[in-house]
């Protein structure tokens, strides 16, 4: 015996977004070959010089990365410092060069991991929290600044492919940090451990709030072209948390109308 379940338009739309995310209208991203590679650095010779120095530093890093047991990347400390110093020098010389900020954030994540926004609280954790807060602040400042520099002011503004790529990477990196924080916080909650966000930026945040913020960044990372972000945006979509409740309520009304 078949039963027809009647969903509201809003419920049907929500389920469409979860199971067919491409059906959801998204803001258009205008990619144009005529758009400048960097909207803030007009001197083409200077931009090429910055790109070369940045690329040389990244190539040096890539040549010296090895994998430890478990797949974790390892970099020789002297090489790490050399690359970090070069990227930091580029930022000091040209603070408006967004790409290098995105890459420095990635380098810091490579070295310190993503478990930097949440810490288990204890009377002896103050020293560790201060160090962790400094790392987290540098990473987030780099990502926030890169996004502020490159995010178009309106949907009519054209982007170069390199701009879109940097925006996708920066949103995805920030999303990864926020998503990891949500999982760390949820784990502490489950184990009844006291925890707190590192620094003041996320004061009062909960595990759910971290995940909601991560979902927004994953969505934007996917919008600018990152495939991992596209998948994670669906996985972390707050609407998905309502999916079970929507279906259960529809089934309850259909099979037990007297209880409605």
pLDDT in tens, 128-162: 788 899 999 999 999 999 999 999 988 888 999 99
Closest listed residue to residue 183, CA positions, set 122, 232, 134, 123: 232
Closest listed residue to residue 61, CA positions, set 116, 110, 112, 115: 110
Q: Are 110 and 103 in contact (CB under 8 A)?
A: no
- Three-state DSSP state, 32: coil
Per-residue DSSP letter, 203: T
d(CA 172, CA 217): 6
Q: How confident is the model at residue 102 (pLDDT cuts 50, 70, 90)?
A: very high
- Beta bridge mates, 73: 67
Closest listed residue to residue 129, CA positions, set 180, 177, 198: 198
Cα 199–chain centre separation: 19
Domains of the chain: 38-259 (1.25.40.10)
Q: Are 211 and 179 in contact (CB under 8 A)?
A: yes
State the pTM of this model. Answer: 0.81
Other C-beta atoms closer than 10 Å to the C-beta of 243 total 16
- Beta bridge mates, 75: 65
**Residue range 192-222, pLDDT digits in tens:** 888 989 888 999 999 999 999 999 999 999 9
Main-chain dihedrals φ then ψ at residue 196, nearest 5 degrees: -155, 150
Beta-carbon contacts of 78 under 8 Å, excluding residues fewer than 6 positions away, are none
d(CA 38, CA 147): 12
**Residue range 66-82, pLDDT digits in tens:** 876 556 678 889 999 99
**Residue range 37-95, pLDDT digits in tens:** 999 999 999 999 999 999 999 999 999 988 765 566 788 899 999 999 999 999 999 99
């Amino acid at each position: 015996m078949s039963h027809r379940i009647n969903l509201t338009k809003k419920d049907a739309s929500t389920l469409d977004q979860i199971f067919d995310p491409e059906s959801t209208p998204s803001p258009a991203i205008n990619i144009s070959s005529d758009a400048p590679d960097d909207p803030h650095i007009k001197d083409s010779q200077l931009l090429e010089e910055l790109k070369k120095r940045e690329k040389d530093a990244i190539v040096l890093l890539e040549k010296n990365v090895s994998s430890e047991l478990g797949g974790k990347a390892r970099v020789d400390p002297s090489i790490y410092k050399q690359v970090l110093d070069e990227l930091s020098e580029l930022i000091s010389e040209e603070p408006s060069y967004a790409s290098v900020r995105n890459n420095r954030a990635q380098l810091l994540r490579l070295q310190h991991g993503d478990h930097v926004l949440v810490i288990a609280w204890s009377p002896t954790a103050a020293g560790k929290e201060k160090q962790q807060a400094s790392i987290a602040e540098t990473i987030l400042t780099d990502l926030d600044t890169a996004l502020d520099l490159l995010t178009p002011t309106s949907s009519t503004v054209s982007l170069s492919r390199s701009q879109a790529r940097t925006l996708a990477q920066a949103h995805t990196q920030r999303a990864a940090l926020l998503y990891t924080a949500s999982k760390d916080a949820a784990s502490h909650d489950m184990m009844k451990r006291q925890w707190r966000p590192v620094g003041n930026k996320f004061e009062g945040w909960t595990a759910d709030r971290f995940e909601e913020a991560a979902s927004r960044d994953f969505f934007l990372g996917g919008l600018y072209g990152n495939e991992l972000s596209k998948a994670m945006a669906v996985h972390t979509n707050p609407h998905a948390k309502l999916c079970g409740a929507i279906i259960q309520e529809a089934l309850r009304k259909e099979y037990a109308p007297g209880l409605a």
